[in-house]
Amino acid sequence: MTLDRMAPLEPVIGVIGTGYLGTTHAACLAELGYDVVAQDQSPERVARLAAGELPFYEPALAELVRRHTASGRLRFTHDVADLAAVADVHFQCVGTPQAGEGMAADTSQVFAAAEGLAACLERDALIVGKSTVPVGTTEALVAAVTRRAAPGIDVEVAWNPEFLREGHAVDDTLRPDRLVLGVSSAEAEKILRQVYVDVIRDGAAVVVTDPATAELVKVAANAFLATKITFANLMGELCEAAGADVTTLAESIGLDPRIGHQFLGAGLGFGGGCLPKDLRALIARADELGVGHARRLLGVVDEVNESQRTRTVETAVELCGGSVAGVRIAALGAAFKPGTDDVRDSPSLAVAARLRDLGATVTVYDPHANDNARAAEPDLCFAATAQDACRDASLVVLLPEWEELVRLDPGELSAYVAVPRMLDARNALDPQRWQLAGWEHRGFGRSSDRAQPSAGSRVSEMELMQ
Ligand code: UDX
């Protein structure tokens, strides 16, 4: 967008934390024309990033990191004092994992990072939080950084939550639907509008609000998405009991623009580093604030979501005749969703591990997440291709719907398996295609014995009826 600008733009940007969020934000701001210094406490991570090497898989990001470490516009350091020395705006991108006990978010990294920075500052600065935090964090941070900053140094804290999805991180950062600016002063708003000038010009909606609302917008968005998925899964359960089809149901209700099609995919449920822990953190914060209904609704969302993993395992057992002990099973996919190598709270890996615990010999293949999955579950077997994973299997379970896996040819795959039996845990395959190739196909919330028309023709049939 702004690559050919000759001189870097003002202000100089600091980024604290170089996980998915921080690395993407730093590289994208370099792409937008800023000088960016990103800090991480891990010297190994800093060394890899400084060499232009991405420590995780994220399409398009590796190229940006390479380009801007080479151009000098993007630098990495493990010393937060390096940020304090050159940057005026500091984006806070550290993790807020679920605390060891209970459901609340652990915000210790957020406080440690901001206080560490504040202690080094030699001039006024704006700290902009991007991490997902419990509502009220900014207010507490203001007090904490004010205590740590030297007398006469003015530190403002704003919240500008990030909505990027793994697998689409660069595009979501450069072309977001909206920018939510939670600010306490007109000056902070002005600075953030300046930082995002090209993004705003390209069409991002801007919402200017207070920090508390901005904090809550992020958790509310994730909780809503989680609720939508769980609603689809509840409908799937009903469809299964009634002999109806949840994929047609989701397509039909999604045609109502008030509902929309996204996040209505019934199946294995949500996972990853964000949705599950953000949902739980919101329950915990609502409890603290004395808002009881949130626990009831969101608690059920979490519970139903967890039960989808159990249902998948139970269905696998049922398909194998009541026991998977000694059965060879191919687990296609280990990441929590396609497009990432992230296995944090991955429903796919959880299912593979539980089947292994029940005595099955489980061989996993994931296009990008084999290494992370092996590190998390070293007792599983791993294969370098989907075909190898399927060799002699009596059950194949499709977990995340990677395009490579959805495109597998059922006729060709038949030659590898002992029994052509497919558990399609994401309702991602065309049952008819697999059945015609001689496979037993089982999805979620759909009658796999009945021949199903393809997704495309279902929509056209509905269009014709209107
Ligand atoms: C999510 C939010 O989408 C993003 O805005 C926020 O910044 C971080 O959390 P991400 O964790 O990358 O992003 O995953 P997302 O694409 O939202 O998917 C979450 C989970 O929901 C995945 O496990 C996915 O498989 C599952 N999912 C999604 C369903 O089970 N059904 C669906 O219909 C859609």
**Residue 390 a catalytic site member:** no
Question: Which residue's alpha carbon is nearest to atom 21 within ligand 1?
Answer: 270
Going by DSSP bridges, is the β-strand pair 89-92/9-16 parallel, antiparallel, or unpaired?
Answer: parallel
Task: Note the pLDDT tens digit of each residue in 409-446.
Answer: 999 999 999 999 999 999 999 999 999 999 999 999 98
Q: What is the pTM of this model?
A: 0.93
**Pocket test residue of 164, 225, 228 for ligand 1, highest count of atoms within 8 A of CB:** 225
Protein residue with its CA nearest to atom 7 in ligand 1: 163
Phi, psi of 66, rounded to the nearest 5 degrees: -60, -50
Using a 6 Å CB cutoff, which residues line ligand 1?
162-166, 222, 225, 229, 263-265, 267, 269-272, 274-275, 336-337
pLDDT for 125-162, tens place per residue?
999 999 999 999 999 999 999 999 999 999 999 999 99
How far does the centroid of ligand 1 lie from the alpha carbon of residue 338, in Å? 10
* Residue ID of nearest Cα to ligand 1 atom 16: 165
Which residues lie across from 313 on neighbouring strands? none
For residue 324, the CA-to-ligand 1 centroid distance in Å is 30
pLDDT at 451: 44
For the CA of 267, the closest atom of ligand 1 is 30
pLDDT at 10 (0 to 100) = 87
Q: What is the distance between the alpha carbons of residues 43 and 263, in angstroms, rounded to a whole number? A: 38
Torsion of CA 141, 144, 147, 152, to 10 degrees: -20
**Average per-residue pLDDT for the chain:** 94
Determine the Cα–Cα distance for residues 423 and 362; give it in Å rounded to an integer.
14
Q: Is residue 215 pLDDT above 70, yes or no?
A: yes
Q: Which atom of ligand 1 is nearest to the CA of 161?
A: 7
pLDDT class of 448 with cuts at 50, 70, 90: low
Residue from 28, 93, 274, 320 carrying the catalytic annotation: 274
In the sheet with 9-16, reading across from the earlier edge strand, the strands are 74-77, 34-39, 9-16, 89-92, 125-129, 155-159, 178-182, 205-209
What's the average model confidence in pLDDT over 187-194?
A: 97
- Is the bond preceding 276 in cis, omega lying within 30 degrees of 0? no
